[in-house]
Structure 1
Amino acid sequence: MGLEMRAFKDIDLNDPFFDSLKADYKEFPDWFAKKAAGGDDAYIFLSDTGGLDGFLYLKVEDGALNDVVPALPPRPRLKVGTMKINPHGTRLGERFIKKIFDHALAKKVEEIYVTVFEHHSKLINMFAEYGFHALAFKTTANGTEQVLVRNIHAPFKDVTTSYPLVKTGNSTVFQVAIEPKWHTKLFPDSILRNESASIVEDVSHTNSIHKVYLAGMHGMEKLRRGDVILIYRKSDGAAPARYRSVATSVCVMEEYRSLGSFADKASFLAYCRPYSVFTDAELDYLWQVKKYHHVIRFTYNFALKKRVTRGDMIDLAGVSESAYAGFLELTHDQFKKILQLGEADESLVVN
């Protein structure tokens, strides 16, 4: 059923899902009741059978953190108040990480923090993968927790640890066209609507950070880790491409593989399945026909707030009208102009 925002008062505290949180935090039932009475909301993830599989509560703060050692000075922060997932290979933790960053950016908060007990090593490792590091400790009657902190605009280190930052620098920028039928599944924040849209209110269940896509456009073998990808949603045929083909999202390359680099179908499926929109049957077909021989893995960094039409890309950003739109190298100036037209948060793009 997916990820959605729901009021605390409409979430069943007696669900066995919350048992481990009650064990870790003795005051959890009282805290939960207080949030319900105060009208607070949380993100929940529901399984196909309607049971709870994930819970995420976020809160913006601006005071000092005096209950941690060492104390942290006052500044706007996004607190990951509570986060729990039932892991079963669905990348749910990754989806929550993306939602945390989306929320912080929408609220214009520089710093994010979360407290985690050391026995939750998998959770700590997941946060560390995206640049969180232990900056302090918090000790209560429940025990001692690490205080993991991430400054969104910390100096760039790597595609993943500095996510969602995009480093242009010496990287090449490419426009990559995506068929409409795959676009929404891959990029749920990038709905086709030429007006500002709230990222936080979007609660699609497909908000994973890493994506895998197969394509057959000539020249894609040039893609390298760190290259910037501008996602271009092809026209759905409802009107000319000038008005219906749009730039929607900014991504960063992680890895290029040719179809021939996989030893067999099993290794191909294992690589693609966790991050691909394609079903097993579709992947099996793509393996058999060998038509789409470029396999690209990339991070989905952010959606443009306003989708930029092909017409505006040509008229206002200087993109060639005669160039092949399926896979096209863009200049940094063209990319910057498209970001401006798309009302993107340009602080996420660093040199």
Structure 2
Amino acid sequence: MELKSYDVLSVKQRKFSEIDLDDMFFDTLKTDYPEFSSWFSKKGKETAFVVNNDAGIQAFLYMKVEHTDEDYSQFIKPLSPAKRLKVGTFKITLNGRYLGERFFRIILEHAIINDVEEIYVTIFPKRDEQKLLINFMELFGFELYTNNKDTDELVYIRKMKTIIEEEPSLKNYPYISSTLERNYYMLAIDTLYHTKLIPDSIIREENPNEFTSDITAANAIQKTYIGNYRISPQPGDIIIYYRAKPAGDNRPAKYAATLTGFGIVSEGHKRISSYEKVNELVSKRTVLTQKEIKDKLAKNKTVNILKFFDVYSFKVRPIRNFLLESGILISNRDYPSKKITEEQFDMVLKEAKFNKKDIFI
């Protein structure tokens, strides 16, 4: 199975042999699965995704790819032959609400990387943390399919390359319909907040250790940007993230400013003047502090709030010079928060060496 490494936040790859099986985190798994300890010990050289802090393990995810010859006779309604990603062991502590979004992004990314047709999970609905994961699965388009006749676990599946419901919706994530009409924009995101909000779009000049899972908004897939941008994206529209030249970078902006990824808009709110209304809309999905929000309101009288699902971070980052040379930015005075055409969006994807068909279906 092909695995992806993550440079930011606290989710790290660990060999089973490096993980403390005696951590109390695993107690419920040992209770639910009497053979868990012996199974775990046999997996020594295999890899899991783990979040660990001073209090111990906070999250654990193990996945594997299954092929068309897999035996599903233990299910009341067996799965048909297909290449699948099995979420073998998955647990998050109850305080990991936004960490859950991070892990479901990881699951779906690995399903795409390994080109599977479906994902499936078996889970008991006994404990609160299990019920939390079931809620997450349903939020991300997993559906109850059958039961394991030996253990009575629930079996949830998620089909890939499918638009499940009207956009924007996490049930479709990360897929976007290629047949719907929509508008395209670039959004200049304040350099100070860019990577705190969109950690997978970290740039080389930044230190990954400065961005941890303690930043609640960083883990969330739905992001909230507060600013005074002049564009008016609507739900379903696409935004490309424009990151200005980092502080201390001596290069000209045309070489230091970059496009780092894109997302799909879920909500847009303009000219909000009340701090209470801003706080109600953003919840914990912004990286701004209360003081920073109040300072913005004091300075500008109103703020705009844009909510979007973070879809993809470019591996190859188009620079501002490309925008100028291609005519997406008309001149150095052309501000990068602007509406662009679908053709210009496709030009950006080509420059980023991103295959549009991976996400737009």
TM-score relative to the length of structure 2 = 0.84
**Structure 1 match to 2:153:** 145
**Structure 1 match to 2:20:** 12
2:349 aligned with 1:332, yes or no?
A: no
Report the 3-state secondary structure (helix = DSSP H, G, I; strand = E; otherwise coil) of the residue aligned with 1:2.
Answer: coil
Residues 206-225 of structure 1 correspond to what in structure 2 (within 5 A)? Answer: 206-218=218-230, 220=231, 222-225=232-235
Residues 89-238 of structure 1 correspond to what in structure 2 (within 5 A)? Answer: 90-119=97-126, 120-140=130-150, 143-157=151-165, 158-159=167-168, 160-167=170-177, 169-192=180-203, 205=213, 206-218=218-230, 220=231, 222-236=232-246, 237-238=249-250
CA contact (8 A) 2:182 2:238 kept: yes
Structure 1 range deviating more: 282-291 or 93-102: 282-291
- CA distance in structure 1 between the partners assigned to 2:273 and 2:140 by the alignment: 28
Report the 3-state secondary structure (helix = DSSP H, G, I; strand = E; otherwise coil) of the residue aligned with 1:167.
Answer: coil
Instruction: List alignment gaps of at least 5 residues for structure 2.
Output: 1-8, 206-210
CA displacement 1:207-235 (0-9 Å, x = unmatched): 421111111122x3x22111111111112
Give the strand-richer structure, 1 or 2.
1
- Out of 59, 65, 70, the residue aligned to residue 60 of structure 1 is 65
Instruction: List alignment gaps of at least 5 residues for structure 1.
Output: 195-202
Superposed CA RMSD in Å reads: 2.4
Assess, with a 3 A threshold, how the Cα gap between structure 1 residues 284 and 41 changes in structure 2: closer, same or farther. Answer: farther
Quote how far apart the aligned CAs of 1:18 are. 0.9
**Structure 1 match to 2:82:** 75
- CA distance in structure 2 between the partners assigned to 1:239 and 1:115 by the alignment: 52
CA contact (8 A) 1:259 1:293 kept: yes
Structure 1 range deviating more: 72-81 or 319-328: 319-328
CA contact (8 A) 2:273 2:302 kept: no
**Structure 1 match to 2:318:** 308
- CA distance in structure 1 between the partners assigned to 2:262 and 2:100 by the alignment: 21
- Out of 305, 309, 318, the residue aligned to residue 299 of structure 1 is 309
Assess, with a 3 A threshold, how the Cα gap between structure 1 residues 288 and 65 changes in structure 2: closer, same or farther. Answer: farther
Q: How many pairs does the alignment contain? A: 333
2:275 aligned with 1:260, yes or no?
A: no
- CA distance in structure 2 between the partners assigned to 1:343 and 1:241 by the alignment: 22
**Structure 2 match to 1:43:** 49
**Structure 2 match to 1:321:** 330
Equivalent residue letter for 2:101: E
Report the 3-state secondary structure (helix = DSSP H, G, I; strand = E; otherwise coil) of the residue aligned with 1:91.
Answer: helix
CA displacement 1:53-89 (0-9 Å, x = unmatched): 1111111221334232322233222111111111226
**Structure 2 match to 1:239:** 251
CA contact (8 A) 1:91 1:274 kept: no
Assess, with a 3 A threshold, how the Cα gap between structure 1 residues 125 and 231 changes in structure 2: closer, same or farther. Answer: same
CA contact (8 A) 1:188 1:204 kept: no
CA displacement 1:110-141 (0-9 Å, x = unmatched): 3211112233333212111111112232232x
**Structure 2 match to 1:86:** 93
**Structure 2 match to 1:197:** none
- CA distance in structure 2 between the partners assigned to 1:69 and 1:270 by the alignment: 45
Equivalent residue letter for 2:157: V
TM-score relative to the length of structure 1 = 0.86
Structure 1 range deviating more: 18-27 or 305-314: 305-314
| Divergent runs of 4+, >6 A | none
